[in-house]
Structure 1
Amino acid sequence: MLAQQRQSAILDLIRQRGGVRVSHLVSRFGVSDMTIRRDLEVLAERGLVDKVHGGATLAGPGSADEPGFAAKSVRQQAEKRAIAERAAVLVEPGMAIALSAGTTTAALARLLSEVRGLTVVTNSVPVADALYQDPRADQTVVLTGGIRTPSDALTGPVAEAAVSSLNVDLLFLGVHGMSPRTGFTTPNLLEAGVNRCLINSARRLVVLADHTKWETTGIATIAPLAAADVLVTDSGLPGEARATVGEQVGELVVVDAR
């Protein structure tokens, strides 16, 4: 098989599976490890795949690309629901908590209506809406205000000032991507600023991220992986990734979305 034919076949395989390992390609095509790595380099230079540790994935959108809330809300619904259910266990009556913008944090908000004496700080319009739909006299919801982004986050100086004056027990942070090199990231520069303020206001940081966020990178880093006291993810996260993350975060919690 010619190199061009093999590269085309590799690309078709990545498109079918979303990603492949070098070892699998070596076995499948009967060539050396170095040959496969050269093939992946060629495909990466053409912008068709993203090279990751031990293999390659289908090239994703640019690091500043930001899908809207509605578009993201239909992705990985089972995983997000399972992550939210596990995160809800961490919330106790009388706590002051913060929820960042995101579809997973919105799923968590819908589970908090029965927690007594809760104060929730958020820069997310959908999170506030979820809490307002089932109002309780003993709950307080603080919506920061600010400039609205495509993901329905409120950002900018107004939001940052509101968050910086508060102190909360837990922050539940949704992220666009996570990797050992770039940490937890977002495609929106303004949102990154508010998220950093939220982290500074919180006693503990709980990151909610399904497995598709692994090796996805947004333009702005929010915090390194080691900043997370707890990371709640799902069983779709590969074993190697779990080992890498487990060495850096305070506690790794893996839920089964089935």
Structure 2
Amino acid sequence: MSTPDSPSPLSTDDIAAITGNLDEVADRARAAAESSGRSGDDVRVLLATKTQPAEKIRVALEHGFTLIGENKVQEITGKAEALADLNPETHLIGPLQKNKVNHTLRHAQCIQSVDNLPLAEKINNRLDVLDETIDFFIQVNTSREDSKFGIAPEDAEELITATRELGRMRLRGLMTIGLPGSTPEEIRPSYSDLRELSERLRDSGAMPAEAAELSMGMSGDFELAISEGATMVRVGSSIFGAREYS
């Protein structure tokens, strides 16, 4: 793993491919936002960096992308030192076990995968000890797949109401993982349902008005997610190529 003072093991072609992909994704996200009647600045691209080495992530950060997301706590901690000089905004976007909370809070600025009250209380209690705060999203299983984490849409209001009592945590909005369908008609309801849930909960006062962010959409469907109101899209393979499993 390279350090800030050592040469990157990536070739010039590797670097050019990553930066070119970054520019293309940014252009597509901006165009999708503008097509839906919003400013391109209303949508942020989160770099989904699961299994990607720190060297590739450095290229993206040095190209001006500051937001990264990891699925596993051990990857956050494993790459933190190598990227510390670039000060990325790091989100945990995968499931969090309660016994990994301490490690997560050392390096992450936001947890997008809160889907139950005991986990939220564990996070808040640890933050009390540290005298710190953290941002979070409620993960909602809008596709209703048994294989996915996330609270059921009909139970989200109760969880959100309970987390409002946790003074160390700031709710930014809702997150979902879309249905892996083959057509827009199959995928779209996963995203429109999250947007409608967000609007309903904010209109009723159950969720703070400022908690309006929607984290949804990945490499294969992020433009569709933006058309349904996404404010943050999680894009990895479209930028870095296939995941590198060892």
Larger Rg: 1
Higher RCO, 1 vs 2 (CA within 8 Å, ≥6 residues apart): 2
Q: TM-score, normalised by structure 2?
A: 0.33
Q: TM-score, normalised by structure 1?
A: 0.32
**Could you say which structure has the higher strand fraction?**
1
